[in-house]
Amino acid sequence: MFDTLTDSFKNAIGKIRFHDDEKALKKATSELKKSLLKADVHHKVVKELITTVERETKKSGIGKDNFLRALQSELTQILTVEGNQGFVFASKPPTVVLMIGLQGSGKTTTTGKLAYFLKEQKKKKVLVVAADLQRLAAVEQLRQICSHIEVELVADENASPVEIVKRALTKAENELYDVVLIDTAGRLAIDEELMDELDSVKKAANPDELFYVADAMTGQDAVRTAQTFKEKIGISGVILTKFDGDSKGGVALGLAQQVGVPLRFIGAGEKMPDIEQFLPDRIVSRLMGAGDIESLAEKTGAVIDEKQAKRLTQKIKKGQFNFNDFVEQMEQMKKLGSMKSLLSMIPGMGNMAKQIGDMDLDNSEEVNRIKALISSMTPKERENPDLLTNSRKRRISKGAGLDQQQVNRILKQFKNAAKMAKKLSGKGGMKQMQDMMSQMQGGGGSFPGVPR
């Protein structure tokens, strides 16, 4: 997610080799400056960062560790501004959130993502409100999203935004909802009409949070527009979307400080799980290539059912892992979002994340072949892969539209995977796994000795 920035930090740090060497420090800071500017970090932010890092490193003695520590602490400073972090619940439910921003910035998608995040990870009862009634298509878009993630929606094409909001709040009160997310209309540019409408919706909603949704690809424009929305309507947080398309990532670094409002979430993908809380110390850890185990644990912990996981481990240990279990696993993995973002949370796996790119479980050809194969099996065959005789394989291959070779290859892979899983689940399995991981990393990886 922050590949470019992480790389530039690594390069800069690589310049420092000796103790007490001002020249090395100068080289490192000028390298850092160059790459930060290239990554689209605002020049004022860069200047401040460089000055502080240089000063602090000198104070504590020039060396890799001190440079790293100074960089890490300054990055945290820059990303932390006064205000709430991540998602904060109001002391008295429901927590009411107004989503505002320009048209196309990602408000509707992000409303869905937030609802999904709150439902899946925080186990909250969420109500979504369609207050963008300008375009019929907008209501329909939100309706589809909400039905997909199974979240309740309040919409009425014949009512005004203010009426809808009032109705939704009454419903939330009566039916004890935890959170109300209000999606509003945007326009291509800021105009008075938009601000008036938002203002009246704001009065009706009396929100706990006003999230300004900004498209990361618009760079410094996103910052300027955020400032205007802050002045005219008031905002309590920024959500940066389309971060997957903005490989530079520098906007995220300066945004909070420039706007004076904390960055709360980052959206990186079109699917519902593709959203992450922006918690400064965790992000800094990831920027430094040290991974973010807490976020990973939260994400997987919320999605993976513990009982189910235990049952599965038992099956794997006994060598009974079958195709039904496999399908179940795939469904759970889909809820976790993109493989790339998961990998980037594991210390030292940043490089691998880059190589893997995005494995899309819905659209990967191989996964589709496996799914076709499984759906052509009888329930008994799914339970017990050993039943698959040659004649059965022929029938399955016809049903799945695959040739014999493909079927044999997939079945063999499956057998090997089950064997490997059994082996790893036994004694010393974790050790083997770690050895395997460190072999795959092959150097690169995280910086040693980064304080966490």
- 241 binding partner (options Mg ion, ligand GDP, none; Cβ < 5 to 8 Å by kind): ligand GDP
In the three-class reduction of DSSP (H, G, I as helix; E, B as strand; rest coil), residue 23 is classed as helix
| 108, 225, 257, 344: residue in contact with ligand GDP (rule CB under 6 A) | 108
Q: What is the spatial distance between Cα 225 and Cα 278, in angstroms, rounded to a whole number?
A: 20
Q: Fill in the DSSP letter of residue 386.
A: G
Question: Could you say which of ligand GDP, Mg ion, none residue 157 binds, taking C-beta under 5 to 8 angstroms by partner kind?
Answer: none
Pick the binder of ligand GDP from 73, 80, 103, 220 (CB under 6 A). 103
Q: How many residues does the chain have?
A: 452
The residues facing 263 across adjacent strands are: 238
CA–centroid distance for 394 within its chain: 42
Is the preceding omega at residue 451 within 30 degrees of 0, hence cis?
A: no
CB of 47 or CB of 135, closer to Mg ion? 135
- Per CB under 5 A, the segment of 104-112, 196-204, 266-274, 425-433 that binds Mg ion is 104-112
- Binding site partner of 269, from Mg ion, ligand GDP, none, Cβ cut-off 5-8 A by kind: ligand GDP
For ligand GDP, the closer of residues 68 and 142 by Cβ is 142
3-state secondary structure 238-272: EEEECCCCCCCCHHHHHHHHHHCCCEEEEECCCCC
Q: Which one among 14, 245, 426, 449 touches ligand GDP, defined by CB under 6 A?
A: 245
Binding residue for ligand GDP, selected from 6, 241, 295, 344, defined by CB under 6 A: 241
Q: How many helices (H) and strands (E) does the chain have?
A: 21, 8
The minimum distance between CB 96 and Mg ion, in angstroms, equals 18
- Residue selected from 33, 42, 64, 107 as contacting ligand GDP according to rule CB under 6 A: 107
Single out the residue of 156, 172, 36, 22 nearest to residue 96, CA to CA: 172
| 207, 250, 269, 347: which one binds ligand GDP (CB under 6 A) | 269
Cα 193 to Cα 372: distance, rounded to the nearest angstrom: 52
Q: Give the pairing of strands 179-184 and 275-277.
A: unpaired
Work out how close the CB of 109 gets to ligand GDP at its nearest, in angstroms, rounded to a whole number: 3
**One character per residue 107-126, x = contact with Mg ion (rule: CB under 5 A):** xx------------------
**Nearer to Mg ion by C-beta: 67 or 117?**
117
How many CA atoms are closer than 13 Å to the CA of 289, on its beta-carbon side? 26
- Tell me whether residue 79 or residue 205 sits nearer to Mg ion (CB atom): 205
DSSP state of 273: T
Q: Is 74 in the site for ligand GDP (CB under 6 A)?
A: no
Residue 315: how many other CB atoms lie within 10 Å = 17
- When binding is defined by CB under 6 A, the residue of 94, 106, 161, 254 that contacts ligand GDP is 106
Shorter beta-carbon distance to ligand GDP: residue 101 or 289: 101
Relative orientation angle of helices 250-259 and 64-79, to the nearest 10 degrees = 50
Interacting residue ranges for Mg ion, rule: CB under 5 A: 107-108, 138
Interacting residue ranges for ligand GDP, rule: CB under 6 A: 101, 103-109, 186, 241-242, 244-245, 267-270
